[in-house]
């Protein structure tokens, strides 16, 4: 739950109170200046706490979260040889949750468990608890990570029945990473966010030897944006650029565009990553004033580009949790025809937020229209048969062939 939220303010504004009636009820409106839902001092998905005269008595979330992020650090009390860090994104889906992320510092070329535990704190081992599946018939937590030669794992999991804030809620609980021998080596809390998650992949047309993996989070904070996250597979003990570009796609190099600073007096994109001896980087970029997610100088749905030390563009991703979620679906389905990201055209926000019901309704309308055309065609065909009994068998065969071709074309369109 945390304490009063007023980070970056000069003083704590939370002196707001309620006055209950004789029945112990309160109805009213409380106004608090400077705060917003998603812009400056964002409150979306944070907690509201109701106090009695001497204790915290009630708690609730502002809104229903659709995405959350866990930042992994060392498991409480762990003193082993690996130092595991990572960034994990958790998204609500139609059947449960999707989990994507990047974990670094693992034992190389092996696998281990990654599970959600029942606890809501990583402060001590006792707080973390065991696997979270209260009320389920069996323990579903057989999920695994698999590391590469650099000790980096890209996480992509699907879990039915769980949710962020509904049935079997995972928001606020602990994510635990186990070493290959089962030892708990890392822990992080699943915290709701109004920001956007980025899943990095190879830059279009890049064919070099550096294979960068990464998961980033872009959030707003008081008329600026923050970029945090984890990257692995970088060149070791060096640095390079990490910038937001103007394009809304990473499908081709031309679409990515150049640095995004349209309307500004100068290019602010001197931001960099710094790697350690293993090629890992923890990203924390805070000096990005004036940019926002959706308002002035909006960065939502634009591309993030990671440069090598030489300046070569080697990795990219879209500032869109929907794209991160789509990447997870494509990876799990293993379909070569699925695009790893959804590329907006003229209006990225409308396309990305389109309701599935709208898609379903459109398909139904198309099917009904096609059926009507087929029936009408059949009536006309029967009428012609009745009025043209003298036609030859070859003519009948030609009509049948044409009708068959029409059906094949309709099937392909659907």
Last residue of a domain, one of 18, 46, 63: 63
Specify the higher pLDDT residue, 116 or 350. Answer: 116
Give the pLDDT confidence score for residue 47 in this predicted structure.
Answer: 82
Last residue of a domain, one of 277, 300, 330: 330
Domain shared by 182 and 270, yes or no: no
Give the pLDDT confidence score for residue 91 in this predicted structure.
Answer: 94
Domain shared by 200 and 310, yes or no: yes
Give the pLDDT confidence score for residue 336 in this predicted structure.
Answer: 31
Residues 340-395: pLDDT tens digits? Answer: 333 333 334 433 333 344 444 444 445 555 555 555 555 444 444 444 444 444 44
Which residue, among 216, 209, 186, 201, has the nearest Cα to 89 in the 3D structure? 216
Give the pLDDT confidence score for residue 209 in this predicted structure.
Answer: 96
State how far the Cα of 322 lies from the Cα of 353, in Å rounded to an integer.
9
Residue 70 clears pLDDT 80, i.e. is over it: yes
Domain shared by 128 and 200, yes or no: no
Domain shared by 207 and 227, yes or no: yes
| Lowest mean pLDDT across 10-14, 72-76, 297-301, 410-414 | 410-414
- Tell me, yes or no, whether 394 lies in a domain: no
Domain shared by 188 and 277, yes or no: no
Question: pTM of the entire structure?
Answer: 0.70
- Tell me, yes or no, whether 395 lies in a domain: no
- Tell me, yes or no, whether 306 lies in a domain: yes
- Tell me, yes or no, whether 352 lies in a domain: no
Residues 211-225: pLDDT tens digits? Answer: 999 999 999 877 789
| Lowest mean pLDDT across 12-21, 59-68, 219-228, 251-260 | 59-68
Domain shared by 50 and 168, yes or no: no
Confidence band (pLDDT; 50, 70, 90) for 279?
very high
Domain shared by 298 and 228, yes or no: yes
| Lowest mean pLDDT across 21-30, 165-174, 184-193 | 21-30
Residue 69 clears pLDDT 80, i.e. is over it: yes
pLDDT, averaged across the chain: 82
Write the secondary structure of the chain as one string of H (helix), E (strand) and C (coil).
CCCCCCCCCCCCCCCCCCCCCCCCCCCCCCCCCCCECCCCCECCCCEEEEECCCCEEEEEECCCCCEEEEEEEECCCCCCCCCCEEEEEEEECCCEEEEEEEEECCCCCCEEEEEEECCCCCCCHHHHCCECCCCCCCCCCCCEEECCCCCCEEEEEEEECCECCCCCECCCCEEEEECCCCCEEEEEECEECCCEEEEEEECCCCCCCCCCEEEEEEEECCCEEEEEEEEECCCCCCEEEEEEECCCCCCCHHHHCCECCCCCCCCCCCCEEECCCCCCEEEEECCCECCECCCCCECCCCEEEEECCCCCEEEEEECCHHHHHHHHHHHHHCCCCCCCCCCCCCCHHHHHCCCHHHHHHHHHHHHHHHHHHHHHHHHHHHHHHHHCCCCCHHHHHHHHHHHHHHHHHHHHHC
Sequence-ordered list of residues with C-beta below 8 angstroms from that of 373, at least 6 positions apart, any chain: none
Give the pLDDT confidence score for residue 378 in this predicted structure.
Answer: 54
Last residue of a domain, one of 281, 302, 330: 330
Number of domains observed in the structure of the chain: 3
Domain shared by 57 and 172, yes or no: no
Give the pLDDT confidence score for residue 326 in this predicted structure.
Answer: 59
- Tell me, yes or no, whether 343 lies in a domain: no
Domain shared by 185 and 264, yes or no: no
State how far the Cα of 293 lies from the Cα of 291, in Å rounded to an integer.
7
- Tell me, yes or no, whether 353 lies in a domain: no
- Tell me, yes or no, whether 41 lies in a domain: yes
Confidence band (pLDDT; 50, 70, 90) for 334?
very low
- Tell me, yes or no, whether 358 lies in a domain: no
| Lowest mean pLDDT across 127-141, 165-179, 290-304, 365-379 | 365-379
Which residue, among 303, 340, 313, has the nearest Cα to 203 in the 3D structure? 313
Order across the sheet with 225-232: list the strands.
272-274, 239-245, 303-307, 313-318, 196-202, 213-220, 225-232, 281-285
Domain shared by 315 and 207, yes or no: yes
Taking residues 148-172, what's their average pLDDT? 94
Taking residues 113-122, what's their average pLDDT? 96
Domain that holds residue 24: 1-63
Specify the higher pLDDT residue, 326 or 127. Answer: 127
CATH number for 321: 2.60.40.200
Counting residues of the chain whose pLDDT is more than 70, the rounded percentage is 76
Domain shared by 120 and 183, yes or no: yes
Domain shared by 81 and 48, yes or no: no
């Amino acid at each position: 739950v945390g304490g009063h939220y007023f980070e970056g303010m000069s003083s704590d504004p939370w002196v707001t109170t309620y006055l209950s009636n004789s029945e112990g009820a309160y109805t009213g409106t409380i106004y608090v200046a400077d705060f917003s839902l998603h812009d400056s001092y964002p409150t979306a998905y944070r907690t509201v706490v109701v106090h009695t005269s001497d204790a915290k008595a009630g708690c609730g979330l502002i809104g229903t979260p659709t995405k959350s992020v866990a930042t992994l650090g060392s498991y409480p009390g762990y003193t082993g040889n690996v130092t595991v860090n990572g960034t994990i994104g958790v998204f609500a889906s139609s059947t449960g949750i999707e989990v994507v992320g990047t974990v670094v510092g693992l034992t190389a070329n092996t696998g281990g468990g990654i599970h959600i535990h029942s606890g809501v704190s990583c402060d001590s081992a006792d707080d973390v608890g065991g696997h979270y599946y209260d009320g389920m018939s069996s323990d579903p937590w057989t999920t695994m990570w698999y590391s590469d030669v650099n000790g980096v794992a890209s996480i992509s999991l699907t879990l039915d029945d769980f949710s962020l804030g509904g049935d079997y809620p995972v928001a606020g609980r602990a994510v635990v990473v186990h070493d290959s021998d089962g030892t708990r080596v890392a822990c992080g809390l699943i915290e709701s966010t109004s920001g956007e998650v980025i899943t990095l992949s190879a830059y279009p047309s890049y064919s070099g030897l550096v294979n960068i993996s990464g998961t980033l989070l872009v959030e707003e904070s008081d008329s600026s944006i923050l970029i945090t996250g984890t990257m692995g597979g970088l060149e070791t003990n060096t640095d390079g650029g990490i910038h937001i570009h103007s394009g809304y796609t990473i499908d081709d190099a031309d679409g990515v565009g150049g640095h995004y600073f349209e309307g500004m007096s100068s290019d602010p994109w001197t931001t960099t990553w710094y790697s350690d001896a293993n090629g890992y980087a923890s990203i924390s970029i805070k000096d990005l004033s004036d940019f926002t997610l959706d308002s002035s100088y909006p960065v939502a749905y634009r591309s993030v580009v990671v440069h090598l030390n030489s300046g070569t563009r080697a990795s990219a991703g879209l500032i869109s949790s929907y794209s991160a979620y789509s990447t997870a679906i494509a990876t799990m389905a293993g379909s070569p025809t699925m695009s790893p990201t959804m590329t907006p055209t003229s209006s990225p926000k409308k396309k990305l937020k389109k309701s599935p019901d709208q898609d379903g309704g459109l398909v139904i309308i198309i099917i009904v229209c096609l059926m009507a055309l087929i029936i009408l065609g059949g009536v006309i065909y029967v009428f012609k048969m009745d009025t043209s009994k003298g036609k030859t068998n070859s003519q009948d065969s030609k009509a049948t062939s044409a009708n068959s071709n029409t059906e094949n074309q309709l099937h392909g369109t659907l």
